[in-house]
Amino acid sequence: MTLPGLGGSERLRSSPPPAPVFSSLLGSTQLPWTPLPTRCASWLPGCLGHGWAPWEELLQWVPGASSLPGNGAQKSWDFMKTHDSVTILMFNSSRRSLVLVKQFRPAVYAGEVERLFPGSLAAAGQDRPQVLQVVLPGSAGVTYELCAGLLDQPGLSLEEVACKEAWEECGYRLAPSDLRRVTSYKRAGTGRWGASSTMFYAEVTDAQRGGLGGGLAEEGELIEVVHLPLDGARAFADDPDVPKTLGVIFGISWFFSCVAPGLGLQ
């Protein structure tokens, strides 16, 4: 489908993912899960866009009864195996603003279409890709988020990944020593995956911004850097009509509770 309002039309498509290869992952070890049938993975909001990300594998969890609490009944659960991630909340002291990113999320767009036009996703789960009709402007799928990235490159530390993402997405040059570790937590969607995310904080200046950011075009990223003035940050976090992630809300709240008092910014 073609989406307007994104700085030019962008062709998006949905397609079933390739069958995951488990032999190299599992070896001879018997683990308590089996791949889902292809039919179950034929369409999900997450595959609308530039195809399926190679780091996601749709699995079916079939644990042994002995590992379950309660009555010990055997159960199954569909979930996605994903990488852990990092997020970075940056405060630009030159502008007295928090640094966020804004980007189009196909799954959010599809969710808005289904919410406003119930039944639009009725074909989900069938043995063919679903073509989603463009009935809303592209802005319906845009969300505000923290700068973030997946831990999908072996050998890089959490801090190194955070610095890499700060440069790629926002154009800020950071060193691991610039980062303050805030906390780690399970990512939203614990019914679908068990990945963790670690949040970092960094104070930056305009002098550290050596690039435009915007993400990697070869990965299909279309990211806009947003400098949110502190004067309106609390209202921004509290506004239910502004589409944003929980990480943004938490990050703003944490900043005003733990950082702003020490900077005389209350």
- Residue 236: CATH number of its domain: 3.90.79.10
pLDDT at residue 52 is higher than 90: no
> Same structural domain for residues 14 and 72?
yes
Total structural domains within the chain = 2
> Same structural domain for residues 224 and 152?
yes
> Same structural domain for residues 118 and 135?
yes
- Look up the domain containing 49 and give its range: 2-81
Who's near 47: CB < 8 A, 6+ residues apart? Answer: 14, 15, 16, 17
Q: Which residue has better confidence, 223 or 5? A: 223
Which of 26, 56, 81 is a domain's end point?
81
d(CA 182, CA 134): 40
d(CA 213, CA 177): 21
> Same structural domain for residues 94 and 211?
yes
Confidence (pLDDT) at 7: 38
> Same structural domain for residues 117 and 27?
no
d(CA 20, CA 89): 34
> Same structural domain for residues 97 and 26?
no
> Same structural domain for residues 103 and 215?
yes
> Same structural domain for residues 123 and 184?
yes
> Same structural domain for residues 89 and 77?
no
Confidence (pLDDT) at 185: 87
Q: What is the token pair recorded at 80?
A: 């996605």
Which of 28, 62, 81 is a domain's end point?
81
- Provide mean pLDDT across the span 234-254: 96
68-100 pLDDT, tens digit each? 555 666 767 777 777 889 999 999 999 999 999
Q: Which residue has better confidence, 61 or 168? A: 168
Which of 63, 81, 99 is a domain's end point?
81
> Same structural domain for residues 38 and 170?
no
pLDDT more than 70, % of the chain: 65
Query: Binning pLDDT at 50, 70 and 90, where does residue 38 land?
Result: very low
Confidence (pLDDT) at 106: 87
> Same structural domain for residues 162 and 133?
yes
Q: Which residue has better confidence, 190 or 259? A: 259
**Average pLDDT of the chain?**
74
> Same structural domain for residues 129 and 75?
no
